[in-house]
Amino acid sequence: MIDQSTIDRIFDTAKIEEVVGDYVTLKRRGANMIGHCPFHNEKTPSFSVSPAKNIYKCFGCGEGGNPVNFIMKIENLSYYEALKFLANKYHIEIVEETLSDEQIQQRGERESLMAVTEALHQQFTTNLFEHPEGTAVGLSYFRHRGFHDDTIRRFQLGYALNQRDAYTNHALKMGYKLEYLEKIGATIVKENYNIDRFHGRAIFPIHSISGKVIAFGGRAIKKDDQVKYQNSPESDIYHKSNVLYGIYFAKNAIVREKKCYLVEGYADVISMFQSGLENVVAPCGTALTVEQIRLLRRILPSVEADRDGAKNVTLLYDGDSAGMNAALKNGKLLLSEGLNVRVVVLPEGEDPDTFAQNNDFSVIRDYLLRNEKDYLFFKIDYYLSVIGNDPMKKAQLISDIADTVAVIPDEVKRSVYARECAKLLDADEKLIYSEILKNRKNRAEKEWKERQLKQSSTSQSDVQQEIVIKEGGSAPQQVSISAIKNDPLEAEERNIVYFFVKYGDFMLIDNEEEKMTVAEFIYSELEIDELQFSNKLYQSMLDEYVKSKQLQFVSSERFFTYHQNPDFSRVASDVLSEQYTLSKMFDKNVEDCKIKVKKVELEEKDRLADLIPHVLLDYKFKWLSLEVKRKIMSLRDKKEPTEIVSLMSEIQDLKKCINEMAKSLGERIIVK
């Protein structure tokens, strides 16, 4: 377990703009920086990075947090893996404490899966260069494919011995559990025996964008092997639809060249890379997915509206029917994600692997530059050559092209393509543009209906989440959280959260008789009235902070922003990113209703003694008002006169409290 001083050093050193900047192209906007969110598809940048607060926040999808949270999310890492990732980035030596048995168990299954995968990877590479069978069979195979030894080492290729359970037994002897070998798909567990999934195969390790091995592709070497490739199945550490083969090795070249070449297989990537074309990737044994395309979008430089050609993808497939069909299908997917798409058809009988092996870099580069064709123009030329003069098929082609142009997010691009495609098809430009508008309208209506259906489904059920709360040295507790849509108390509770996150450690009462911080005062006020936030996450945050033994050493803002629970950190980044202003009626000294936020923040710190009691009173007022409504509704179900009289008496008492509070409140003071 990483000791606390090392964790503090990592947080103090890691700069959010540098960490995010490795994945997202950021532009300065005032004190903050903006870019396209890497976690959801968007046309207008809504992803904000605050260097001053060392947090990020997407105002589109709601993601937010600190540098560690960002790495956890984007690299699919655990908290401690993300800390190690950043320590490595900033050359910070990791100091680890001795783990108890309980702590070892808590570190989680995912780290064990990563450890098993790395151990197998080391064994495969060792086999290739040091085991007689590996050298004779595996290394000979790769060399026969034309891979140089430095390329083999760079891509960390390996070999699995041709024995039924060789690497499984080796892993078990090293202390790794069979259940983890099975979960990553390396071992097939039968009733009385185990089988190495990749035995006797050449191994292509699959890397995450950060360079960690997360899966394997096993290529058959023996001629009688009926299955050409055996790939790792889906696991907790590997989701093939989210990964591109070669992305770790290609990402710097992709950024530098503002272009990515997309091929079909592992050997295609390696041969092209070896030839000198480094900005090349491939799907991992699956059809191209939207998630893989969005991974490319994150890496390719972000440019306003992408109109200067900075987000280019070139499809480099075989010239056979399968390659052509893949190009036609994938080009439309890439267009719909806002990328500029081109296609290169290789000479007959060639694929990217053989073409790279048979030519030097200058020939390859010149061929690609001369033969690149815009995807839509390629599609039109291809189908016109197939349909000939058939008018019905040409009408279908016009509709198909209009549907393809309709997926392009940028309006200017759509307009240009409509005009150029009309010329190539010898069709009326207005007709094509009319078809495009009709397609976009139909698609928008369909998406709207799907969203409505999804929202309706969500509102009919509580979304359950589980978070782990650590209290002192006690064992973790499981806290069930119901995320209730449109909670009527959300605004008032969030106002209170803002104050105990930002000012929780500030001394609110400081005299000889009593000393109390903002967080302690809020906690005490709620406890006196036996109230708890309806949002259990907010309540968990307040409880843990007040009961924490670290209060005297760390500010509340740092406590929540850098908390290892990503939910705490996300809420903290949310409320710290939002703008709070004071109403004119409450602040009698403010003459201009449009008071600047910066001025309000300067005043806020000095006015906590007024603001904190007021937001609490505001919350209690709302809670009582809702309680009155609830009791009035329950009157309908009461039939006994005594029950009705008793309930009406309770309602009257609550109304008196509400009236007293209303006098104290006057006007609301906090609005968002």
pLDDT band at 10 (very low <50, low <70, confident <90, very high): confident
d(CA 435, CA 503): 57
d(CA 305, CA 45): 10
The pLDDT tens digits for 330-382 are 999 999 988 999 999 998 889 999 999 999 999 999 999 999 999 999 999 99
Q: Rounded to 5 degrees, what are φ and ψ at 342?
A: -130, 165
Question: Could you give all domains of the chain from N- to C-terminal order, each with its CATH number?
Answer: 4-105 (3.90.580.10), 108-238 (3.90.980.10), 489-671 (no CATH)
Q: Indicate the helix (H) or strand (E) that contains 278.
A: none
Q: Between 186 and 469, name the one with better pLDDT.
A: 186
196: burial class by Cβ within 10 Å (0-12, 13-18, 19+)? buried
Q: Among all chains, which residue has been given the structure tokens 């509070």? A: 661
**SS3 of residue 161 by DSSP:** coil
d(CA 489, CA 291): 36
**E strands in 101-180:** 158-159
- Residues with Cβ < 8 Å from 274, sequence gap 6 or more? 146, 147, 148, 151, 356
Rounded average pLDDT over 512-521: 82
Q: Which of 514, 518, 493 is nearest to 504 (CA)?
A: 518
Q: Among all chains, which residue has been given the structure tokens 């195969």? A: 201
The pLDDT tens digits for 26-73 are 888 877 888 888 888 777 788 889 887 888 988 888 888 889 989 888
CA distances from 413 to 180, 408, 426, 499 (A): 49, 7, 20, 47
pLDDT band at 456 (very low <50, low <70, confident <90, very high): low
pTM of the predicted protein model: 0.61
How high does pLDDT run on average in the chain?
81
Q: Which of 304, 343, 339, 307 is nearest to 325 (CA)?
A: 343
Q: Which of 247, 265, 226 is nearest to 145 (CA)?
A: 265
